[in-house]
Structure 1
Amino acid sequence: MNDRKPSKPVRKNISATVKFFDEAKGFGFVSPADGSPDAFVHISVLQNTSYQELREGMQINCDLADGDRGQQVVAIHEPEEEEEVVVGADIEITGVVSTYVPEHKYGFVTPDGGGEDVFIHISMLERSEVNPEDIQLNTKVKCVVRPGVKGPIADSLEIL
């Protein structure tokens, strides 16, 4: 039996605000608009959506169920039209991998033109069909980058 499946009824199409989400750790919490307690959200619920991150303050529509430790998000519905505008803020950069820690599944790219290092995560590498073993120090890459809560984050990566 899979312990992650909700055994209680699911509350569908609940509006919620993202309170916190740590992409590196893969989880966070949302605050439902109906006043119910905060709900845990795991990065795995993003897999079958167009969402690539959850930002603090972001409004989402989700399905909630009672888990062993309280409410949890079991599905996230596709973003509203206004979320499309944020995607347009992405930029493309080239740079080199300055840090990659395979056991923690993340690293950073230093842009060629200077500026803040760009966070890279194994889930993005998998979406980009890049083998994590090919990511080494000083590997030349091209990334599509978007703003994140703690700094720039790569949405896609290509080894040059």
Structure 2
Amino acid sequence: MNDRKSSKPVRKNIAATVKFFDEAKGFGFVSPADGSPDAFVHISVVQDTSYTEFTEGMRIVVDLVEGDRGPQVAAIHEPEGGAAGDAGTLDETEVDGIVTRFVPEHRYGLVTPENGGADIFFHTNMLERSEVDMDNFGVDAKVKCVVRRGLKGPIADKLEVL
């Protein structure tokens, strides 16, 4: 697998406007306000935020890295001047569950809630932020997640191994 992301951030906290985003295809482009070339944005970066929609013309703040094919968004911080998305989109709940899928080479996994419901997506960036002990983590691990509604369903903002 060819990892298109550079490990070195090129620029941090750059104001940008969403130029195009296709949720079904899982990618889009943003136009940095500083006039530099448009940057590619993958849905996994969007899913690691509190956004429930990502639409043309939306103003955001991003970190950009230089990928093999040009600039790309490494992180999305916040929209200019306020809260991410609609105020009602930040509802978070705690859910106990079991890790049913973990694919570290693709940087994601799924938690099946103990009480039923849709599987909860998590990205490995969240595991790093949550300071998860990777020695005690993997498929069949019992976990507690702080969950919010993401673009394609529930997403974990925090995770703790129980």
- TM-score normalised to structure 2 length: 0.63
State the 1:65 CA deviation.
9.7
Question: Any idea what SS the aligned residue of 1:123 has?
Answer: helix
Q: Which residue of structure 1 aligns with residue 84 of structure 2?
A: 83
Q: 57-66 or 112-121, which moves further after superposition?
A: 57-66
Q: Which residue of structure 2 aligns with residue 32 of structure 1?
A: 31
Tell me which of the two structures has the higher relative contact order, counting C-alpha pairs closer than 8 angstroms and 6 or more residues apart.
2
**Cα contact 1:100–1:135 (8 A) shared by 2:** no
Q: Deviations over 1:37-74 (max 9, x none)?
A: 7422479x99xxxx942652253145889988455558
Structure 1 regions of 5+ residues with no counterpart?
A: none
CA distance in 2 between counterparts of 1:103 and 1:75 reads 19
Q: Which residue of structure 2 aligns with residue 144 of structure 1?
A: 146
- TM-score normalised to structure 1 length: 0.63
How many residues were matched structurally? 146
Change in 2 beyond 3 A, CA 1:83/1:70: same
State the 1:128 CA deviation.
0.3
**Cα contact 2:8–2:65 (8 A) shared by 1:** no
Q: 53-62 or 106-115, which moves further after superposition?
A: 53-62
State the 1:121 CA deviation.
1.7
The residue type paired with residue 56 of structure 1 is F
1:123 to 122, 125, 128: 125
Structure 2 regions of 5+ residues with no counterpart?
A: 1-5
CA distance in 2 between counterparts of 1:17 and 1:74 reads 14
**Cα contact 1:62–1:75 (8 A) shared by 2:** yes
CA RMSD across the alignment: 4.3
